[in-house]
Amino acid sequence: MTDQPQASLALRFASLGSGSKGNATLVSDGETYVLVDCGFGMREAERRLAQFGLHPRQLDAVLLTHEHGDHIRGVGPLARRYAIPVYLTAGTWLSGRLGEVPHHEWVVPQSRFAIKGLEIEPVTVPHDAREPVQFRFRAHGRHLGVLTDLGHPSEHVIDAFRGCDALILECNHDRHMLDVGPYPRNLKRRVGGHWGHLANVQAAELLTRLGLDRLQRIVCSHISEENNRPELALEALTPLLSGDESRLLVSAQEHGFAWQSIA
């Protein structure tokens, strides 16, 4: 996949894959490329980046949301091998999961920063990690929200993600499937709890609170392979779209999703 000239001035995003086995999201303003998390091992990440026509050396930064394995696995190896700066909160660093990296920058929750032309706002989310954040991006006057790994739609999250033009949104589990599924009871309680992951119905509630008027793209992400099905996530969100279902897509564990440009 190569850069198309008409797309180069847009805020764009894509996924290398999403789900409990690994997450990695690409965000670009046409000049800057950042990877949000890398839950894939280094070789696998290289292979997946190549499918987007990208080499790890083209990445300006890796932004880390939190230290869980499905987000951090490949970050240290990639950063060390290709000298990519890693942006992370002090809490994520203190988890000790990253290892040494050649260059890191502190992310301070709620404090905006920029990487070249890409503006970034880290937002605190309720999740059971040391100091988890999710990110809101701005470039060319457009806003993208990346919002996964949260146990419930807190007021703070709703305020922080209002007015986005596109949203990558966690639809982790279907409550009934989680209930009757194979997870041990304590894990069910963790996933379904206030500091775990967002259920399809909570994603729908969050979207309703945010308002859908401006949203050109909504991507159902971090879908559990054990406790959810893409059809159930789509079924939960479709009624909110007033018939315009073309705005809704699903991010798969295997293939993520292709570049999306925000007009």
Helix, strand, coil shares of the chain as percentages rounded to 5?
A: 30, 25, 45
- Give the residue with the Cβ less far from Zn ion, 121 or 149: 149
The least CB distance from residue 67 to Zn ion, in Å, is 8
Identity of the residue, 29 or 70, whose beta carbon is nearer to Zn ion in the bound complex: 70
Least Å distance between CB 261 and Zn ion?
Answer: 26
Shortest distance in whole angstroms from residue 242 CB to Zn ion: 30
Question: CB 233 → Zn ion: shortest distance, Å?
Answer: 15
Q: What does the angle CA 66 – CA 143 – CA 135 come to, to the nearest 5 degrees?
A: 10
| C-beta of 92 vs 261, nearer to Zn ion | 92
In whole angstroms, what is the distance from residue 102 CA to residue 80 CA? 6
d(C-alpha 43, C-alpha 41), whole Å: 6
Q: Least distance to Zn ion from the beta carbon of 124, Å?
A: 14
Cβ-proximal residue to Zn ion, closest one: 68
Contacts of 4 (CB under 8 A, 6+ apart): none
Distance of CA 242 to the CA centre of its chain: 25
Q: Site map for Zn ion, 46-85, x if CB under 5 A? A: ----------------------x-x---------------
Q: Give the CA count within 13 Å in the CB-facing half-sphere of 187.
A: 9
Q: Which is nearer to Zn ion, 46 or 149 (CB)?
A: 149
Return the residues of window 124-183 that contact Zn ion according to CB under 5 A: 149
CA 5, CA 164: separation in Å to the nearest integer? 24
Binding footprint of Zn ion on the chain (CB under 5 A): 68, 70, 149
